[in-house]
Amino acid sequence: MTIINPVVPENAPDAVQTQLQAVGRAVGFVPNMYKVMANAPATLGGYLQLQGALMRSSLSAKAREAVALAVSQVNGCGYCLAGHSFAAGKVGLTQAEIASARNGELNAFTRLAQQIVETRGHVSAADLAEARAAGITDTQLIDVIGVAAQLTLTNYLNIIAQTEIDFPPVA
């Protein structure tokens, strides 16, 4: 049962309708997460700005989706795991790579993302040295933190709201 009801796009204020329509054009439909977030227009607007900015980050689409999967796995968000597994497939990750990303084992980005979330940002000097040895730059480190923060927002929202999953389910 959903705890926070999704906004009906046609009944939303004009600015929210415009934002939801843009999401619908980009994704092919308006996912329930955005409809739930639309209850707080300022949060929806800020989230969409952050999402747009991170799409232009130093991380490739594959790396962003892999990080999203690692973060969502640690946080236990079924909605985001389903959504980002779907998106990861669209950007070219295989099912095996998706599973590996969820476990923080795909690459240095997913290991680092998992460590950031598990330690709440208190990543050890050894773990940071390992990430640097794998080639992660300062810019990429900060962008991984940005994606982790973005996903923490959506993970917590969807866990608390018990948002109905509208992507193909994952195991």
Residue 124 structure tokens: 């050890």
* pLDDT for res 1: 75
Q: How confident is the model at residue 162 (pLDDT cuts 50, 70, 90)?
A: very high
CA angle 66, 67, 70 (to 5 degrees): 90
Can you tell me the mean pLDDT for 16-40? Answer: 96
pLDDT grade for 171, boundaries at 50, 70 and 90: confident
> What is the rounded average pLDDT of the residues 53-64?
98
Report yes or no: 65 and 151 within 8 Å, Cβ to Cβ: no
3 state SS of 103? coil
Q: Residue 30 in contact with residue 63, Cβ under 8 Å?
A: no
For the chain, percent of residues with pLDDT exceeding 90:
98
pLDDT at 155 over 80: yes
Predicted pLDDT at 169: 87
pLDDT at 2: 81
| Average pLDDT score, the chain | 97
Residue written as token pair 């640690």: 74
Q: What is the rounded CA–CA span in Å between residue 109 and residue 89?
A: 18
Domains (ranges, CATH) in the chain? 9-55 (1.20.5.810), 61-161 (1.20.1290.10)
Give the tens place of pLDDT for each residue, 74-91: 999 999 999 999 999 999
